[in-house]
Amino acid sequence: MLKVGLLWFDDTPQRPFNIKIERAMVYYAAKYGRLPNVCYVHPSCLPQPAPEAPAIAVRAAQDVLPHHFMLGVAQAAD
């Protein structure tokens, strides 16, 4: 999981999942000056089949609330 990240909320039902992530990525880049490389979402919000999101890994996490997107830069394991 991330130590620091941006929590983004989007519960718009007509907006596609990948567009929600792209909007969050644009905001993250404007705020922090770089793109995130990982996004955690609640498992119930992952569309089936798994989403295609270029330049970002989308992972399920039980501790992220539904309709929230936790974006950040994953650190390499030491």
**pLDDT for 11-46, tens place per residue?**
999 999 989 999 999 999 999 999 999 999 999 998
Residue 5 within any structural domain of the chain: no
Residue 36 within any structural domain of the chain: yes
Residue 77 within any structural domain of the chain: no
Count structural domains, the chain. 1
Can you tell me the mean pLDDT for 56-65? 92
Range of the domain at 55: 11-72
Residue 2 within any structural domain of the chain: no
**Across the beta sheet with 6-9, what order do the strands follow?**
6-9, 68-72, 38-41, 57-60
Residue 56 within any structural domain of the chain: yes
Banded model confidence at residue 78, pLDDT cuts 50, 70, 90 = very low
Taking the C-alpha atoms of residue 78 and residue 67, their distance in angstroms, rounded to an integer, is 31
